[in-house]
Structure 1
Amino acid sequence: MSGLNFTAIDVETANSQRASVCAVGIVQVRNGQVSETFEWHVTPPTGLDSFHPRNIAIHGITPEMVQAADNTWADSLEAIQTLAGDFPLVAYNAPFDKSVIHESSRLSGLTPPANDFHCALALAKRHLTLEKYRLPLVAEHLGIAPFTHHDAGSDAAACAQIVLALSERHDLREVSALWAPARIDRSEASLKPSAFSRGNKSPIAELPQPNPAADPSHPFFGRQVIMTGDMESYDRWDAMEKIASLGGINGKGVTKKTAFLLIGDGKTHASIDLENGTTKEKKAAAYMAAGQDLTVLTEPDFLKLVGKRSPAALKPKAVFAPTVTDELRTGGGTSEDRHPAPQTAESVISPVPAPVRQHEDQDGQYGSQPSPVGVINGFQPSEPVTPHISDVPEKAGQAVTAMLRAGTRMGHRLFGATKN
């Protein structure tokens, strides 16, 4: 598998803000083989370092753990860039991980990596026919050993193994071949409404069409819903299918017919600034100023409207979050509800209780129980190890060796955290 070189990466966040990075997992793949695996905790950028109970319930990382690690985002970004080199970065549900890296860098006044960034989830959807594409399910389908989901190092390793398995299965030995644009048989595509390719532009007629038998009392029924940004719980196509199943009308852009604008990218009502946002957000602001009845939805709003349990409503185990408000226990509001926009989903429909589902993540995955506090895949965090220089080449690898020789703080920490 010579020539297949990339760096798999996974990040975890402390709360709903994309810049609240609290853990990084890195797996180097060189010449078609896993080279080294690293993972470490990160203190989120100042102002975004509060840990929400739902996030703790998902990954098990606590404020005490990141404080003990004492790694800043500047330290982490240096390590990511050194470990990745000039090779592409790959993540499972890459829009999420990429946005976390970019937002954390932007708020820290740093420049994010310029490496190409590829999505292993998109690769799996291209080559596999499964009912669901959650990371553990895809890994199991490909014969990859069970792992601790939502552990950054384990998720990055699973991502790397998925790419390697698909590369082997389809005899694609270069990264450029794996993510080459899909070729479409135009004669067949013209006959199939399902010819829509996720991530590519499609005629409106090919978008999921409204279900005429849906409940006419649902707020989406017969009304246009437009999306901007990426969501953690659904990819764009699946969200459109959900909207259509409820009788909603999908579209490509904000118009005078738009009734709802669904804003992703982890934004809250407190952080949304329509007039300075995306093109769709700016158009929505203009139409609303002109008197149009247009409701802005965040991802938690959308989850309530489609009857899916919001991650914000999950009750974490007490060992990770000893203080959980009654509001969260009953599936009530989140911090976003305390800063409402002029009109939100709360004014459209009351929250409807939904079945409790434990540990749901950004792509609809249900992970295993979090690792015990202070333990990451059997690696007990400790003070950084300062090696004898003669030990470095055998234990650290070229990238970490270079950081050690340069005397960087993160070099010593990565040496101590090397997993293989």
Structure 2
Amino acid sequence: MSINISFSDGEFKIATNTKGSPKRQKGNSFLEFPKDYTIIDLETTGFDARYDEIIEIGCIKYRNNKEVAKFQTLIQPAPSYEYDDNDNKTAMYYVDDFISELTGITNEMLVSAPRFESISNDLQAFLKDELLMGHNVNFDINFLYDYFLKYNEYIFRNNFVDTLRLSRRVLPELPNYKLKTIADYYDITNTYHRALADCQTTYQIFTQLSQKAHAENIDLTLSPKHKKNDLRKITPDSTTFDSDNIFYNKNCVFTGKLEKFERKVAAQLATNIGAHCENGVTKKTNFLIIGSFQDVVSVKDNKSSKIKKAEKLILEGQDLQIISEHTFYDYISEELEKQQEKND
């Protein structure tokens, strides 16, 4: 599933990490080109498995790289409500205009769709013991993990292969690894943001990556060389700032993996409201924004060297705050909303 960032209807559409939630006991991630697997893709009402809901599930099962079975269904999520002056509530919609425009899935389509609990046993049976595959598949697995645990009391531990990770190894020259970017690279034309269509696109990408990796004898165990971005060189898109916002004229540093977009994009957002971004923690740092350290072997106890240095500086009295990625987004959305109101 491709991930997009937007700001509409007073809401900053962006993913958050799951810090503070119980750690999911998920399966293992493999870097390989299997012959037997099931590709999965979900469409959802948002990006956070803690708060948002599934609206479509698509799965295609392959044996010896040949399609053998499909599972697809729309899912009716909990409706949103409108309240009148007497606190009487009326169900208004399942998905907002942004999601409908992105996916093509409308409220009318979801009215008669089944709830997850009514299809969960069939889906569990379809996915049982399957090696899963998907593009940025952790996103989809997190939603399914939470749903299976909630409705079936079932711990979803399937192992998985992420074509996004494979793409980074096989195509290190690409500017980003969105599903559409890689599809365009291989001249793959398809409908995006519908579950089965994205599964089919993922299969075509996987096939191309496999052929290239085998033809060029690419070692998947070798990490691709990434050119590090110098965040200090990022300049704001505007020269007008609200000096009351908490990031104005403050030095910001990022650590960990940001869940749904590149660190450079996050730094640009901060710079656009008057912050200065740095590459490392120093005695001038005011904010350290923390992403995820899941699957980062070199980081123990979820504390990178930047976090440890920041904690030391705080104890020494430095004006420095450590905030989560989620909190960072909240602050950014408030500032974007203010800017939008000024421009209207």
> For this structure pair, what is the TM-score category when the shorter chain's length is used for normalisation?
0.5 to 0.7
Report if the CA contact (8 A) 2:167-2:177 is conserved: yes
Structure 2 unaligned segments of length 5 or more: list them. 1-32, 82-92, 242-246, 293-301
1:114 aligns with 2:157: yes
Give the Å deviation of 1:59.
Answer: 0.9
**Residue deviations 1:229-288 (CA, integer Å, cap 9, x gap):** 6533x1457656887998512459x99945143568xxxxxxxxxxxxx879x9999x79
The equivalent residue for 2:222 is 183
Equivalent position to 1:131, from 175, 188, 191: 175
Report if the CA contact (8 A) 2:148-2:154 is conserved: yes
**Residue deviations 1:84-118 (CA, integer Å, cap 9, x gap):** 34231111112221222223334446324211122
Distance 1:247 1:68, change over 3 A: same
Report the AA paired with residue 136 of structure 1. K
The equivalent residue for 1:306 is none
Which secondary structure does the structure 2 equivalent of 1:61 belong to? coil
| TM-score, with length taken from structure 1 | 0.51
1:294 aligns with 2:321: yes
Report if the CA contact (8 A) 1:23-1:40 is conserved: yes
Report if the CA contact (8 A) 1:224-1:257 is conserved: yes
1:64 aligns with 2:108: yes
Q: Distance in 2 between matches of 1:255 and 1:70?
A: 55
Q: Distance in 1 between matches of 2:183 and 2:210?
A: 14
Equivalent position to 2:146, from 82, 103, 106: 103
The equivalent residue for 1:249 is 278
The equivalent residue for 2:230 is 209
Structure 1 unaligned segments of length 5 or more: list them. 185-193, 197-205, 265-277, 303-335, 337-343, 354-420
Which secondary structure does the structure 1 equivalent of 2:42 belong to? strand
Name whichever structure is richer in strand by fraction: 2
Equivalent position to 2:206, from 148, 153, 163: 163
The equivalent residue for 2:72 is 39
Report the AA paired with residue 92 of structure 1. H
1:25 aligns with 2:58: yes
Distance 1:151 1:65, change over 3 A: same
Distance 1:31 1:211, change over 3 A: same
Give the Å deviation of 1:120.
Answer: 1.0
Equivalent position to 2:97, from 53, 61, 65: 53
Equivalent position to 2:42, from 11, 16, 21: 11
The equivalent residue for 1:153 is 196
Give the Å deviation of 1:152.
Answer: 0.6
Give the Å deviation of 1:34.
Answer: 2.3
Report if the CA contact (8 A) 1:260-1:296 is conserved: yes
Which secondary structure does the structure 2 equivalent of 1:69 belong to? coil
Report if the CA contact (8 A) 1:211-1:244 is conserved: no
1:140 aligns with 2:201: no
Give the Å deviation of 1:352.
Answer: 4.2
Q: Distance in 1 between matches of 2:157 and 2:141?
A: 11
Give the Å deviation of 1:294.
Answer: 3.1
Report if the CA contact (8 A) 2:285-2:320 is conserved: no
The equivalent residue for 1:382 is none
Q: Distance in 1 between matches of 2:185 and 2:336?
A: 39
Q: Distance in 2 between matches of 1:213 and 1:69?
A: 46
The equivalent residue for 1:259 is 287
Which secondary structure does the structure 2 equivalent of 1:25 belong to? strand
Give the Å deviation of 1:148.
Answer: 1.2
Q: Distance in 2 between matches of 1:148 and 1:227?
A: 35
Give the Å deviation of 1:31.
Answer: 0.3
Report if the CA contact (8 A) 1:209-1:244 is conserved: no
Report the AA paired with residue 70 of structure 1. P
Distance 1:346 1:97, change over 3 A: closer
* Greater mean deviation of Cα atoms: 213-222 or 80-89: 213-222
Give the Å deviation of 1:139.
Answer: 1.9
Q: Distance in 1 between matches of 2:75 and 2:320?
A: 43
**Residue deviations 1:152-179 (CA, integer Å, cap 9, x gap):** 110011111211221123228xxxx99x
| TM-score, with length taken from structure 2 | 0.61
Report the AA paired with residue 126 of structure 2. L
Distance 1:106 1:63, change over 3 A: farther
Distance 1:301 1:224, change over 3 A: closer
Which secondary structure does the structure 2 equivalent of 1:131 belong to? coil
Q: Distance in 2 between matches of 1:21 and 1:15?
A: 9
How many residues were matched structurally? 272
Q: Distance in 1 between matches of 2:203 and 2:169?
A: 16
Distance 1:91 1:250, change over 3 A: farther
Q: Distance in 2 between matches of 1:350 and 1:242?
A: 13
Q: Distance in 2 between matches of 1:23 and 1:88?
A: 20
Which secondary structure does the structure 2 equivalent of 1:171 belong to? helix
Paired-residue identity, %:
19
**Residue deviations 1:324-358 (CA, integer Å, cap 9, x gap):** xxxxxxxxxxxx7xxxxxxx3467677545xxxxx
Report if the CA contact (8 A) 1:208-1:244 is conserved: no
